[in-house]
A = this chain, B = another copy of it.
Amino acid sequence: MNEIGLRRRATVHDVARAAGVSLATVDRVLNGRPGVRAATVEKVEAAIAEIGFQRDLSASLLARARDLRVVFIIPDSSNEFMASLADAVTRRAGQALTDRIYIETQRLRALDAGALAKALDGLDARTTDCAVIVGGEEPSVLTAVDSATKRGIVVMTLVSDLPATQRHHFIGVDNVAAGRTAASLLGRFLPQGGKVAVIAGSLHLRDHSERLSGFRATMAAEFPALELIGPSEGHDERSETEAIVADVLARHPDLAGLYNLGAGNAGLVAALDAAPSASALRVIAHELTEPTRRGLRSGVIDVVLDQNPDGEIREAIAAARTLALGGHGALVSDPIEIGIFLRDNLR
């Protein structure tokens, strides 16, 4: 039972020795404090790389006697998906506290770019290590993200990316793949061909347009026998979506498939429930929420594609932990997978 081969982890002391400097200097380099010549910084960094030093995150948080502070800024709309995201944050917040990670949630009016920008501008780098945001590509938001990053806050985008900014990381699913998957399933569900209606929330939303493009591409390439109807835009609203679905059903009594790539699923389910002969209709929707679960259970929805909000929040927290203190370099994180739910594998 000897310990040969189990080399002790390198510590700051080892770095100091290897670099031929004092502990204080290593500390200054590690924590980006001033008063070190560029040449010395390089010496220390070389030593760190050479002996493979990795700062002990727990000891670090312990020593500063303060938690890592992560702020989630999430739209506060009637959108059930955003609510489930916020729920997931709340659930994780307790466990995260055990790891000295303090999580705060801010709900903001949906689609209010100004409010999001203002919230970002209000973050103090001394009390906030990381901000995780869900936002659209508005100029004011982009500016605020870059400004927060410059102030030293790690900004991560969730669900919908802002690739034009300096955000450190994006966490979300591949929506083009989600659209392809919906097409692939519907195509297999309808081997005899037929009409398929598509409903979106708003094609100005990046995720919706990505889903649509994936859906269309696969439909065109693999299932030419299916005829696409739409897309119509329901603006993620319950009543609007309900009206659209009812209209489509009335207009096309022979409709074979339906893909709702946006929200407003309560309306979708209501319209399907009211339809007389919807049982032969194959329906795919997005996000596992209360209305879609109900639809799956009752059979009016066949498949729900889900973003897995719990997994997204878990990864966001893990990434925050790594980024905020660990290395400012590459980040390995699990990709978020598209959850596919039928009535039979509902949790």
Give the B-binding residues of A (Cβ under 8 A): 1, 6, 9, 54, 56-59, 61-62, 95, 97-100, 102, 124, 127, 174, 177-178, 180-181, 183-185, 188-192, 214, 218, 282, 302, 308, 310-311, 314, 326, 332, 334-335, 337-340, 342-345, 347
Contacts and interface: CB of A to CB of B under 8 A. Distances in A.
B344 A337 contact: no
Nearest to A127: B1
28 contacts: A1-B127, A9-B97, A54-B98, A56-B98, A57-B99, A58-B59, A58-B100, A59-B62, A62-B62, A98-B326, A174-B345, A178-B345, A181-B342, A181-B345, A184-B342, A185-B342, A188-B188, A188-B282, A191-B191, A191-B192, A192-B192, A218-B344, A308-B337, A311-B334, A335-B347, A337-B339, A340-B340, A340-B345
Contacts of A183: 344
Number of copies: 2
B1 A181 contact: no
Given A54-B98, A345-B180, A188 B340 contact: no
B184 A344 contact: yes
A297 B261 CA distance: 25
Contacts of A342: 181, 184-185
B345 A337 contact: yes
Contacts of A332: 95
Contacts of A98: 54, 56-57, 326
Contacts of A340: 340, 345
Instruction: Across the A-B interface, give the 6 residue pairs with the lowest CB-CB distance, nearest first.
Output: A58-B58, A180-B344, A340-B340, A181-B345, A181-B344, A184-B344
Contacts of A302: 188
A99 B345 contact: no
Contacts of A61: 58
A59 B99 CA distance: 10
A347 B347 CA distance: 23
A191 B1 CA distance: 61
Contacts of A100: 56, 58
A243 B310 CA distance: 43
A189 B338 CA distance: 20
Contact of A188 (B58, B189, B192): B189
Contacts of A192: 191-192
Contacts of A282: 188
A98 B327 CA distance: 12
Contacts of A314: 334
Nearest to A126: B1
